[in-house]
Structure 1
Amino acid sequence: MKFEVLILGNSSATPMYERHPTAQIVNFNEQLFLIDCGEGTQMQLHRYGIKSNKIAHIFISHLHGDHYLGLVGLLSSMNLHGRKSDLHLYGPAPLIDILNIQFKYSDTQLRYNLFFHATNPEVETVLLQSAMLKVSSFPLLHRVPTTGFRFDEGKRAATLIKERIEEFKVPTVFLPQLKRGIDCEGLQGQQYRASELTLPAPASRSYAFCSDTRAFAAYINSIQQVDLLYHETTFQHDMVDRAQETFHSTSLEAAQVAKQVEAKKLLMGHYSARYKDLTPLLEEARSEFANAALSMEGNWYKV
């Protein structure tokens, strides 16, 4: 089952050095989720072959322009392209007022249903849940109310042992139940035991997105043991005073967080425009957490 993240933008504040403001796609089993929507997001979607009308859920972390100023244009283009399917939008409560005034003065009438869900910047909250995926928000520490987002895969199905399935001539109709760990009985009393015909289910996977934030204690529990952690790394640690002043994190601090929560991999992003060469940020992070990587626009990262 596919679970991966496409980086559309990884720059902080302003586009610079062919880097765009924050936006990314989460593909979970061909369900597409957009996280943040900075300027130029719809151009990036087009560039990397993502059809915007396949996106059913959009998550906005906070109301600084580099994280949402592409949203009005994207929603309007979806309308122009004839979207009819429902769209769910999650973000800070004032976001709906911003959209409504834009649509009012542009006389835009959406021909699809836009359902807005206000996020809570104070407590961890489940936003979306199905049998196979849970999406939660959690508080971050920035200059304005901000949330991160965590995607948790549900319990995965066991793996069938092909040779044994063929050996015991297991009817196809029983395979879905066996993958869920359910024993089956044939018409002639044959016993098909899941424990004998399957391998243990693979571990469920998780992805956490930590937008603009200071590294602080309150969100640590929300991102424990995440498989892939995207965490902002706006500055090198020699600018920690500037990071504290602007409520951002350094690459060293992000690496320390990844180590503390026992993440499997750290994906860095939200780079300051002062850095054309990102290598020093990567080296600094790896000095604390070896499995750190720079997010690069256009790249897919497996969870």
Structure 2
Amino acid sequence: MFKPVVSRLALVGLVAAVPLQVAAQTDKLLNASYDIARELFAEYNPLFVQHWKQETGQDISIEQSHAGTSRQAQAIMQGLKADVVTFNQVTDIDVLAKRGFVAKDWQQQFANNASPYYSTTAFLVRKDNPKNIQNWDDLIRDDVKIVFPNPKTSGNARYSYLGAWLFANETFKGDQEKTKDFVQKLLGNVENFPTGGRGATVAFANNDQGDALLTFESEVINIANGDEFKAQDFQIIVPPVSVLAEFPIAVVEKVTERQKSGDLAKAYLNYLYATPAQELLSRYNYRVHDSSVKSDLPTVRLINPTDVLGTWDQIQDTHFAAGGVLDQLLAK
């Protein structure tokens, strides 16, 4: 079993399964998720529906909404009646918590800081890797063009940005000016900045833009090994040091209280920690916490951004807020 080296990441015990004695008061649920999770939840939802039916005898239906997670958070605040969120960025759930849509202690409501699975940022390169891209520092070369989503709208892209920042910060031993210069060069090499991860995949794989696609490791592997792009012989590059990308979940209590879907929503999220769901997540090349699930993913030293850059609120304010470091670097 693959054992990641994760800075100060506590792999706490999984949430114990709670017997489902009675059917929920509703038979419908809406999950608002990130842009590239369509296929994953297209498989997870029937798995949970079957589990719920076996436990309660109730037939239910689950609907999905997909977009960049910052856009999803805005949509919920503007009226999207999502019962649960399965995001790829803590800050986007924190926004909902601050506005009263999600409990302030949402990270204590599920195991592993409400993150049933995790990943990192990896690179997808073209056949035979003609630019010999192996690590983060190759992405700032003058002869390299890259594609990844806009960090303003995509949690996926914020991890790519943070992966580059953390690599440079370590390489230059905390020298902020050299780190900023490194990340500015990387941003200057971006050929396409779509709003979400799926748009980035289309730009790279369908439209032949860029020499490398930066996205979640799971997506990189799924693209390279999937039938749609198999003929292109894309190669997977997982840098030896990268960013820890947790995938947080939460009940949207402002919605579930109104729709009486709280019990169903909690069960839906809890089941992500169950072994059948963890096995499914592993098949989609996510890293999981269940030690009984086998994985062939490579060993990577994963750096938790909060160990280096402060809390997620501080990271958001410093890097991604209007006028923050990201805006400053893009303006150069």
**Structure 1 length-normalised TM:** 0.29
Provide TM-score, normalisation by structure 2. Answer: 0.28
Which has the higher relative contact order, 1 or 2, with Cα contacts under 8 A spaced 6 or more apart?
A: 2
Which is richer in strand?
1
Q: Could you say which structure has the higher helix fraction?
A: 2
